[in-house]
């Protein structure tokens, strides 16, 4: 790491006063103690809260930690990078460095030292071989309706290979609304999982390919159902001169759709990348409100509890990921919701798995599934 | 990957479970510093142990005693001044955060009995159901109730609550024996401070974990009132508001009285950085009145009369500022921590002194800080009067907010504080002890 960057990071770490208000949601005015840090809450040691994790990063940068202990790897990687700690910290201390980025850089340092998790290295290997994060060798069936369409739908690995009902729904919405679209002939993984797990170099080839493909398509707008992909394009890709929109932003912009209310009372789960990373809170609610009745949960928007699957946690620490999802499902039930709705394939996958494991019948959807169901067409 | 478990860790794991004891360097590193790392150097504990109950605490202490291993108790880990940073090699850090049960809230006795991992936020969530509250320190509501009160519950945000909130506790000694103080020593009733003979509760208080480990503590609770009103009065100097503060204290009229300068704690009291504080008078007196019907109105009338004759300017603040002041004073400090956002770090002398010396304290603080090169806009102070001390005793805080990433700035801060501790009349508590370690 360059000296200047190291000093910037150390300065940010030195400014942490260890108040740990980052571990709970805003206490006033409701005076309710609501934990906000899934990793700290699950593992308990200080090393799993942001202040402790920063101290570990400090010792790495200062050369005091010279070996990859089990605790080091778990502290570094059993964090969903949800950013809830940062949202709280910036309200109070105007902290200058975003904590999820700080922890990503911590992982990048570990990778440089050869201390990546084997399971994350395996994902990189699969991507290298198949160009998708799941190592699947088949193609999700989707065809452009117009090779010159202004709209390109970037599907993403999870919607293509693990929760295809989301991709199906989005494509059907386009069809029902009579919107011409393109899909990429060769859509490669956006690189999010590699970047989030510190494997920065491995992501470069993917990014170059996707940039080239999108430029070649001539599309003016790229639509994403996956906030992880969208965030990666927004933050890690260079400006391609195209508009990048989440599905809910795209649908909101269309104005009124001919939809009918589904008679469902649902809670909306803010995906971390969509909400805290990109600040998109209103559009998903606006779209969802047209087809369901929304019940408010206690932790929402900037202070939403993470579903537990991001940042490479789902692949490496599934027990922790599912526990976080169970906590969210409980909160939805307490709010009186029949179903929990998100706007992210990765959230849906983890929440659904937890709901199925629990077996108490909470339904989990993505917004586009409900919109598709309620659209006349 | 390093995986060598020492025989000590194996022994500790048999007591608290495999998941709850470790000598992993990274995990230990996460406990190595607190906010005052410029003055108390970082040091990793050798072991972290997380007991779930007092029997596990007893067994860990007995083991450590037999093996001659130092033990540093740690409740929720929100510390300043290095209180949980080990001094000795091969120390056990006893992380008590798993012990977070509220054992009892007794609305008749107006008491709460808690374990070390219970925070002020957790406690208020329960006590408010009975229209009761704990006495709050001006520390984040993530801090431990037990540890704060055991350390005497200093610098509270309410003028009425006084100083000693502890009634009784149970402490495990290094040899595994348990001391029960106050009425606990005679019965299962923990509600009275004094038992037979000397006041053992007081004897051990304010030893930060050096005598034993307190596993359960019973503390006083205070009433929450529905009637509340807030006033903000501006002054250009720290001496003029002395008379109104004296009057409010003498007549016991206000639940909270806080004199702050317009550039530091006021931002937390109001809950935002985004306000033209620099246009306000240099000092702002924040007053909160509360009480039952009839008494509330009578108190409020007198408070208004005192404000009128105070020579200060009544400031019209937005309603949300008033709400935040209420919450921060009588509901636990959250936004007050915004002072950390001023420059990143702070150091202070916290002291109890008479109100009559308020202007003198500020003058000495400002002078010594300027002399060693602290910029003027880094120098702050506040007063929290506490009238149940009798007379005019107040909690004073002489603060410097500095950039923790700038070591020169931190060094100057340390010199200022050392000079101050000579120049001021320190009654109870100074920052001097940790400075000698830095």
3-state SS, residue B306: helix
Domain of residue B295, residue span: 227-435
Q: Is A34 on the interface with B (CB under 8 A)?
A: no
Q: Do B340 and A17 touch (CB under 8 A)?
A: yes
In a domain, B375, yes or no: yes
Assigned token pair, B378:
């880094």
Q: Which residues of B289-299 are buried (b: 16+ CB within 10 A; e: fewer)?
A: bbbeeeebeeb
> How many structural domains are present in chain B?
3
Q: Is A113 on the interface with B (CB under 8 A)?
A: no
Distance CA B51, CA B28 (A): 16
- For residues B239 and B382, state if they share a domain: yes
What does the pLDDT average to over B203-209? 83
Q: Do A23 and B340 touch (CB under 8 A)?
A: no
Q: Do B404 and A67 touch (CB under 8 A)?
A: no
Assigned token pair, A345:
């394939």
- Chain B residues with CB under 8 Å of A28 CB are 324, 327-328, 331-332, 334-335
pLDDT of residue A334: 96
- How close B280 gets to chain A, by Cα (Å)? 22
Residue B11 has pLDDT above 50, yes or no: yes
- How close A365 gets to chain B, by Cα (Å)? 33
- Chain B residues with CB under 8 Å of A56 CB are 26, 29-30
Assigned token pair, B8:
């000590």
Q: What is the pLDDT confidence band of residue B156, given thresholds at 50, 70 and 90? A: confident
Q: Is B126 on the interface with A (CB under 8 A)?
A: no
Contact A238, A354 (CB under 8 A): no
Q: pLDDT over 70 for what percent of chain B?
A: 92
> What is the CATH architecture assignment of A258-374?
3-Layer(aba) Sandwich (3.40)
Ramachandran assignment for B366, one of left (phi > 0), alpha (psi -120 to 50 degrees), beta (any other):
alpha
Q: Is B340 on the interface with A (CB under 8 A)?
A: yes
Taking only the tens place, the pLDDT of each residue in A69-112 is 999 999 999 999 999 999 999 888 877 779 999 999 999 999 99
- For residues B151 and B257, state if they share a domain: no
Contact A51, A20 (CB under 8 A): yes
- For residues B210 and B233, state if they share a domain: no
Task: Find the closest chain A residue to B328 by CA distance.
Answer: A28
Task: Find the closest chain B residue to A60 by CA distance.
Answer: B26
Return the minimum-mean-pLDDT range out of A348-352, B235-239, B312-316, B340-344.
B340-344
Task: Find the closest chain A residue to B34 by CA distance.
Answer: A18
Q: pLDDT over 90 for what percent of chain A?
A: 91
- For residues B417 and B347, state if they share a domain: yes
CATH of the domain at B40: 3.30.43.10
Return the minimum-mean-pLDDT range out of B23-27, B220-224, B323-327, B339-343.
B339-343
pLDDT of residue B312: 97
Q: Is B331 on the interface with A (CB under 8 A)?
A: yes
Residue A171 has pLDDT above 90, yes or no: yes
- For residues B303 and B326, state if they share a domain: yes
Task: Find the closest chain A residue to B124 by CA distance.
Answer: A31
Q: Is B122 on the interface with A (CB under 8 A)?
A: yes
Q: Is A52 on the interface with B (CB under 8 A)?
A: yes
Residue A213 has pLDDT above 60, yes or no: yes
Question: What letter does residue A189 receive in the DSSP assignment?
Answer: P
- Cα B165 to chain centroid distance, Å, stands at 12
- For residues B284 and B408, state if they share a domain: yes
Residue B16 has pLDDT above 70, yes or no: yes
Write down the mean pLDDT value for chain A. Answer: 96
Residue A329 has pLDDT above 80, yes or no: yes
Residue B10 has pLDDT above 70, yes or no: yes
- How close A318 gets to chain B, by Cα (Å)? 17
pLDDT of residue A119: 98
pLDDT of residue B25: 97
Q: Among B189, B223, B257, give the residue marking a domain's end.
A: B223
Assigned token pair, A10:
């150390």
- Chain A residues with CB under 8 Å of B405 CB are 7, 10-12, 14-15
Task: Find the closest chain A residue to B127 by CA distance.
Answer: A31
Q: What is the pLDDT confidence band of residue B420, given thresholds at 50, 70 and 90? A: low
What does the pLDDT average to over A364-369? 98
pLDDT of residue A377: 62
3-state SS, residue B43: coil
Nearest of B313, B315, B304, B223 to residue B269 by alpha carbon: B315
- For residues B219 and B283, state if they share a domain: no
What does the pLDDT average to over A183-195? 97
pLDDT of residue A134: 97
First to last CA, chain B: 35
What does the pLDDT average to over B197-218? 89
Q: Is A62 on the interface with B (CB under 8 A)?
A: no
CATH of the domain at B181: 3.30.465.10
Distance CA A95, CA A106 (A): 17
Nearest of A257, A245, A252, A231 to residue A151 by alpha carbon: A245
Which position has the token pair 């910037």?
Answer: A8
What does the pLDDT average to over B201-223? 91
Q: Which of A32, A75, A92 sits opposite B340 (nearest CB)?
A: A92
- Which CATH superfamily hosts domain A3-115? Alpha-helical ferredoxin (1.10.1060.10)
State the pTM of this model: 0.94
In a domain, B1, yes or no: no
Q: What is the pLDDT confidence band of residue A190, given thresholds at 50, 70 and 90? A: very high
Q: Among B39, B70, B95, give the residue marking a domain's end.
A: B95
What does the pLDDT average to over A342-367? 94
Q: Among B191, B223, B255, give the residue marking a domain's end.
A: B223
Taking only the tens place, the pLDDT of each residue in B40-74 is 889 999 999 999 999 999 999 999 999 999 999 99
Q: Which of residues 19-38 of B touch A (CB under 8 A)?
A: 20, 22, 24-27, 29-35, 37
- For residues B279 and B253, state if they share a domain: yes
Question: What letter does residue B169 receive in the DSSP assignment?
Answer: E
ipTM computed for the complex: 0.94
Interface test mutation site (partner A, options B9, B20, B26, max chain A beta carbons within 10 A): B26
pLDDT of residue B365: 87
Q: Do A56 and B24 touch (CB under 8 A)?
A: no
pLDDT of residue B424: 42
What does the pLDDT average to over B1-9? 68
3-state SS, residue A247: helix
Higher pLDDT, B14 or B41: B14
Distance CA B217, CA B224 (A): 22
Q: Which residues of B94-117 are buried (b: 16+ CB within 10 A; e: fewer)?
A: bbbbbbbebeebbeebbbbbbbbb
Per-domain residue ranges of chain A = 3-115, 151-253, 258-374
- Please return the burial class of B50, using the count of CB atoms within 10 Å of its CB with bins 0-12, 13-18 and 19+: buried
Q: Is A218 on the interface with B (CB under 8 A)?
A: no
Q: Do A21 and B142 touch (CB under 8 A)?
A: yes
- How close A82 gets to chain B, by Cα (Å)? 20
Nearest of A240, A65, A360, A98 to residue B42 by alpha carbon: A65
- Chain A residues with CB under 8 Å of B141 CB are 21, 27
In a domain, B91, yes or no: yes
- Report domain A151-253's class: alpha beta
Q: Do A47 and B29 touch (CB under 8 A)?
A: yes
> A151-253 and A258-374 share one CATH topology?
yes
Which position has the token pair 């790491």?
Answer: A1
- For residues B251 and B380, state if they share a domain: yes
Residue B436 has pLDDT above 90, yes or no: no
pLDDT of residue B5: 59
Assigned token pair, B147:
């540890």
- Integer CA distances (angstroms), B326 to A22, A138, B69, B331, B388, in order: 22, 61, 45, 7, 20
Residue B429 has pLDDT above 60, yes or no: no
- Chain A residues with CB under 8 Å of B77 CB are 18, 20, 46
pLDDT of residue B405: 78
Residue A328 has pLDDT above 80, yes or no: yes
- For residues B270 and B417, state if they share a domain: yes
Q: What is the pLDDT confidence band of residue B374, given thresholds at 50, 70 and 90? A: confident
What does the pLDDT average to over A19-32? 95
pLDDT of residue B431: 31
Write down the mean pLDDT value for chain B. Answer: 88
Task: Find the closest chain B residue to A94 by CA distance.
Answer: B341
In a domain, B211, yes or no: yes
- For residues B302 and B428, state if they share a domain: yes
The radius of gyration of chain B from alpha carbons, rounded to an integer in Å, stands at: 22
Strands (E), B248-296: 256-261, 283-291
Return the minimum-mean-pLDDT range out of A97-101, B331-335, B389-393.
B389-393
Instruction: Give the number of beta-carbon pairs within 8 Å between A and B.
Output: 159
Taking only the tens place, the pLDDT of each residue in A44-69 is 999 999 999 999 999 999 999 999 99
Distance CA B53, CA A83 (A): 33
Task: Find the closest chain B residue to A51 by CA distance.
Answer: B30
What does the pLDDT average to over A237-263? 95
Q: What is the pLDDT confidence band of residue B348, given thresholds at 50, 70 and 90? A: confident
- For residues B232 and B168, state if they share a domain: no
Taking only the tens place, the pLDDT of each residue in A127-136 is 999 999 999 9
Taking only the tens place, the pLDDT of each residue in B96-152 is 999 999 999 999 999 999 999 999 999 999 999 999 999 998 899 999 999 999 887
Which position has the token pair 């907010």?
Answer: B401
């Amino acid at each position: 790491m360059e000296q200047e960057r190291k000093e910037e990071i150390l300065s940010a770490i030195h400014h942490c006063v260890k108040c740990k208000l980052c571990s709970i949601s805003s206490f006033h005015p409701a005076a309710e103690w609501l934990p906000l840090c899934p990793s700290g809450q699950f593992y308990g040691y200080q090393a799993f809260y942001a202040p402790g994790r920063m101290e570990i990063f400090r010792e790495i940068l200062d050369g005091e930690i010279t070996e990859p202990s089990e605790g080091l790897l778990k502290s570094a990687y059993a964090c969903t990078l949800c950013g809830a700690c940062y949202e709280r910290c910036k309200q109070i201390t105007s902290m200058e460095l975003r904590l999820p980025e700080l922890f990503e850089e911590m992982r990048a340092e570990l990778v440089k030292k050869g201390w990546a998790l084997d399971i994350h290295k395996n994902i990189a290997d699969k991507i290298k071989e198949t160009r998708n994060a799941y190592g699947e060798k088949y193609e999700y069936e989707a065809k452009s309706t117009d090779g010159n369409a202004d709209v390109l739908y970037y599907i993403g690995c999870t919607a293509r290979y693990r929760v295809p009902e989301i991709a199906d729904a989005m494509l059907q919405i386009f069809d029902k609304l009579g919107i011409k679209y393109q899909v990429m002939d060769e859509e490669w993984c956006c690189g999010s999982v590699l970047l989030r797990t510190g494997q920065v170099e491995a992501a470069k080839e993917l990014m170059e390919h996707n940039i080239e493909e999108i430029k070649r398509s001539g599309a003016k707008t790229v639509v994403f159902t996956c906030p992880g992909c969208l965030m990666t394009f927004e933050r890690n890709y260079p400006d391609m001169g195209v508009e990048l929109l989440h599905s809910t932003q795209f649908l909101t912009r269309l104005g009124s759709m001919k939809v009918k209310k589904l008679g469902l009372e649902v809670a909306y789960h803010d995906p971390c990348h969509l909400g805290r990373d990109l600040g998109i809170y209103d559009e998903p609610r606006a779209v969802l409100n047209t087809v369901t009745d929304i019940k408010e949960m206690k932790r929402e928007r900037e202070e939403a509890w993470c579903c537990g699957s991001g940042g490479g946690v789902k692949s490496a620490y599934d027990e922790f990921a599912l526990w976080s999802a169970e906590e969210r499902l409980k909160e939805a039930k307490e709010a009186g919701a029949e179903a929990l709705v998100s706007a992210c394939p990765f959230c849906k996958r983890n929440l659904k798995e937890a709901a199925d494991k629990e077996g108490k019948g909470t339904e989990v959807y993505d917004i586009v599934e409900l919109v598709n169901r309620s659209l006349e067409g | 990957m390093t995986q060598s478990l020492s025989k000590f860790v194996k022994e500790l794991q048999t007591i608290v479970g495999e998941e709850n004891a470790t000598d992993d360097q990274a995990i230990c590193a996460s406990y190595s510093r607190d906010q005052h790392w410029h003055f108390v150097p970082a040091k990793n504990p050798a072991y972290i142990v997380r007991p779930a109950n007092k029997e596990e605490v007893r067994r860990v202490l007995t083991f450590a005693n037999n093996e001659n291993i130092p033990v540093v108790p740690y409740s929720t880990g929100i510390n300043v001044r290095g209180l949980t940073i080990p001094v000795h090699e091969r120390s056990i850090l006893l992380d008590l955060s798993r012990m977070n049960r509220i054992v009892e809230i007794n609305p008749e006795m107006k008491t709460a009995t808690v374990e070390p991992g219970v925070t002020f936020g957790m406690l208020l969530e329960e006590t408010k159901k009975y229209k009761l509250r704990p006495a709050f320190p001006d520390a984040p509501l993530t801090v431990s109730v037990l540890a704060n009160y055991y350390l005497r519950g200093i610098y509270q945000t309410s003028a009425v609550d006084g100083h000693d909130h502890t009634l009784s506790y149970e402490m495990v000694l290094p040899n595994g024996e348990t001391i029960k103080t106050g009425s606990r020593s005679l019965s299962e009733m923990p509600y009275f401070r004094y038992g037979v003979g000397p006041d053992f509760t007081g004897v051990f208080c304010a030893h930060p974990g050096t005598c034993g480990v307190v596993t359960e503590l019973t503390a006083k609770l205070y009433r929450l009132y529905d009637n509340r009103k807030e006033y903000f009065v501006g002054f250009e100097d720290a001496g003029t508001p002395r008379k109104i503060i004296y009057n409010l204290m003498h007549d016991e009229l206000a639940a909270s009285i806080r004199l702050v300068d317009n550039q530091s704690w006021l931002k937390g009291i109001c809950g935002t950085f985004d306000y033209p504080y620099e246009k306000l008078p240099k000092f702002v007196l924040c007053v909160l009145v509360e009480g039952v019907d009839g008494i509330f109105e009578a108190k409020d009338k007198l408070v208004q009369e005192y404000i009128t004759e105070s020579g200060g300017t009544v400031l019209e603040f937005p309603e949300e500022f008033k709400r935040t002041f209420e919450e921060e004073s009588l509901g636990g400090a959250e936004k007050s921590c915004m002072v950390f956002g001023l420059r990143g770090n702070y150091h202070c002398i916290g002291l109890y002194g008479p109100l009559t010396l308020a202007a003198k304290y500020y003058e000495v603080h400002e002078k010594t800080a300027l002399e060693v090169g602290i910029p003027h806009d880094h120098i702050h102070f506040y007063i929290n009067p506490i009238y149940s001390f009798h007379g005019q005793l107040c909690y004073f805080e002489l603060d410097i907010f500095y950039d923790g990433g700038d070591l020169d700035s931190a060094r100057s801060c340390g010199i200022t504080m050392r000079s101050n501790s000579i120049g001021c009349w320190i009654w109870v508590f100074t920052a001097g002890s940790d400075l000698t370690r830095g």
